[in-house]
């Protein structure tokens, strides 16, 4: 998965980008029905929206949300600068980075 071209990032964000890439690859491997998700910053709080294919039960949907938020929270605890890479982007299971805002 390529989170974004890292050559244009400062070194601390390059390292954070590699860690983010590894965590997202693992997340999509654990959640094969997860098609993608977005993270939006609203008033300094991060909100996660996600899409699945096929449609999940309420319990599965909740489990998926919990997995995403726990993965991101752990990464943000370790590397707060990852927040700069997460905001307003859509992350797809196709393992590509789409830099447009959601």
pTM (whole model) above 0.85: no
In the chain, the DSSP E strands lie at: 34-42, 45-52, 89-92, 97-98
43: number of Cβ within 10 Å: 5
Q: In what order do the strands lie in the sheet with 45-52?
A: 45-52, 34-42, 89-92, 97-98
Q: Look at residue 3 and tell me whether its pLDDT is greater than 50.
A: no
Strands 89-92 and 45-52: unpaired
pLDDT for 5 equals 55
76 sits in which H/E element: helix 58-78
Q: What is the DSSP letter of 6?
A: G
Tens digits of per-residue pLDDT, 41-75? Answer: 777 666 777 776 667 888 888 888 899 889 999 99
What's the whole-number average pLDDT of the chain? 78
Q: Look at residue 26 and tell me whether its pLDDT is greater than 70.
A: yes
pLDDT for 43 equals 72
């Amino acid at each position: 998965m390529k989170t974004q071209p890292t050559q244009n990032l400062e070194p601390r964000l390059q390292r954070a980008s590699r860690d983010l890439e590894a965590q997202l690859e693992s997340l999509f491997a654990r959640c094969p029905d997860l098609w993608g998700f977005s993270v939006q910053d609203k008033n300094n709080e991060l909100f996660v929206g996600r899409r699945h294919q096929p449609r999940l039960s309420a319990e599965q949907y909740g489990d998926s949300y919990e997995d995403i938020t726990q993965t991101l929270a752990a990464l943000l605890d370790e590397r707060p600068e990852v927040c700069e890479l997460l905001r307003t982007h859509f992350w797809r299971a196709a393992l590509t980075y789409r830099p447009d805002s959601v």
